[in-house]
């Protein structure tokens, strides 16, 4: 295994401390009017702000994806285990991104695109006709290749965006609770210490690496069970990349992570399991160490040893 043991970095995320809205100095004016109600999540509905639910497993069954007549994903069966990091590697155009975008049903946002087969979140088929696509995307967050904070919003508003944009009832996003959730998300994304003094500044003013962690915080704020990362470090320098990788290692305690990457060293560093795709098909999946040192398929060996791709 490339990751030795559970991560230690969440030591600074003491839940009790985070629950107190006044625990940290709040120098910023964001819409935080003190309210009587404490920011804890409602135990009845299980929407705790801090003690996150564990991640959920995702299973693909005969997943096929189309753009018009083209078929970039040609029937994939693949398991993503709960609270593990699974890396998807493969040459450009092999269908990695398309496959991942099918998991939270973002694929269908492209005109002319459709998917077949099943995507099971735990036991629920997200393509079932009774399933609300909005709810699927709240449960399965996504981080994109290029950092894309909302340009009209401050750092705080960017993280709060997911909570505010959801159509849930108003009471659930009481303002003190919102502030606590934003802080929790920023701490989880390892960004709090860097931006706690700049919450009211535009999110687009941060550095590229900070912007990407802001986007991760934005995804975390809605408390998803799965996070999909589509080459999250390809636009970042090595130091920013390292920070994101450390973050991934910490986050798997509370979410299931699927990461598409072109960087095989990155897959080796962060992933528990690695899947190798080629031409829209899954060639091989297994523990990362085995994929890189002792693959069963010769095509995998050729790819990981740099003979093609």
> Which residues are at the interface with other proteins (CB under 8 A)?
104, 106, 109, 111, 134-139, 141-142, 144, 146, 148, 150-152, 161-162, 164-167, 202, 215, 218-219, 222
Rounded to the nearest angstrom, the gap between the alpha carbon of residue 79 and the centroid of all alpha carbons in its chain is 17
Nearer to other proteins, 220 or 240 (CB): 220
228 phi/psi in degrees, rounded to 5: -100, 130
- The least distance separating other proteins from the CB of residue 74, rounded to whole angstroms, comes to 24
Going from the C-alpha of 12 to that of each of 79, 192, 277, 284, the distances in angstroms are 32, 11, 37, 38
- The least distance separating other proteins from the CB of residue 218, rounded to whole angstroms, comes to 7
Closest CA to 76 of 284, 268, 259: 284
Nearer to other proteins, 87 or 142 (CB): 142
Q: How many other CB atoms are found less than 10 A from the CB of residue 45?
A: 8
- The least distance separating other proteins from the CB of residue 170, rounded to whole angstroms, comes to 14
- The least distance separating other proteins from the CB of residue 234, rounded to whole angstroms, comes to 14
- The least distance separating other proteins from the CB of residue 215, rounded to whole angstroms, comes to 7
Calculate Rg over the CA atoms of the chain: 20
Q: Which parts of 231-293 are beta strand (E)? A: 256-260, 273-278, 281-287
């Amino acid at each position: 295994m490339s990751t030795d043991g559970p991560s230690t970095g969440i030591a600074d995320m003491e839940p009790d401390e985070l629950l107190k809205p006044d625990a940290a100095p709040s120098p910023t004016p964001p819409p935080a009017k003190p309210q009587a109600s404490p920011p804890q999540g409602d135990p009845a509905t299980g929407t705790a702000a801090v003690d996150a639910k564990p991640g959920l497993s995702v299973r693909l069954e005969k997943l096929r994806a189309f753009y018009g007549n083209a078929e970039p994903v040609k029937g994939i069966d693949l398991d993503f285990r709960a609270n593990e990091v699974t890396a998807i590697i493969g040459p450009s155009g092999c269908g990695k991104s398309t496959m991942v975008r099918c998991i939270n049903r973002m694929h269908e946002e492209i005109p002319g695109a459709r998917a077949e087969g099943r995507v099971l979140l735990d036991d629920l088929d997200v393509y079932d006709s009774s399933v609300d696509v909005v709810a699927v995307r709240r449960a399965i967050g996504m981080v994109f290749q290029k950092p894309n904070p909302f340009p009209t919003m401050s750092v705080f508003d960017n993280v709060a965006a997911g909570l505010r944009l959801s159509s849930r009832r108003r009471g659930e996003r009481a303002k003190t609770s919102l502030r606590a959730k934003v802080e929790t998300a920023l701490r989880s994304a390892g960004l709090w210490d860097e931006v706690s003094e700049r919450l009211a500044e535009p999110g687009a003013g941060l550095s590229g690496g900070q912007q990407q962690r802001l986007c991760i915080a934005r995804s975390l704020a809605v408390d998803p069970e799965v996070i999909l990362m589509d080459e999250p470090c390809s636009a970042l320098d090595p130091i920013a990349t390292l920070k994101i990788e450390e973050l991934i290692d910490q986050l798997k305690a509370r979410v299931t992570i699927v990461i598409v990457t072109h960087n095989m060293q990155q897959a080796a560093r962060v992933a528990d399991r690695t899947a190798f795709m080629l031409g829209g098909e899954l060639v091989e999946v297994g523990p990362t160490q085995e994929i890189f040192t002792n693959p069963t398929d010769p095509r995998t060996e050729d790819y990981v040893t740099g003979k093609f791709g």
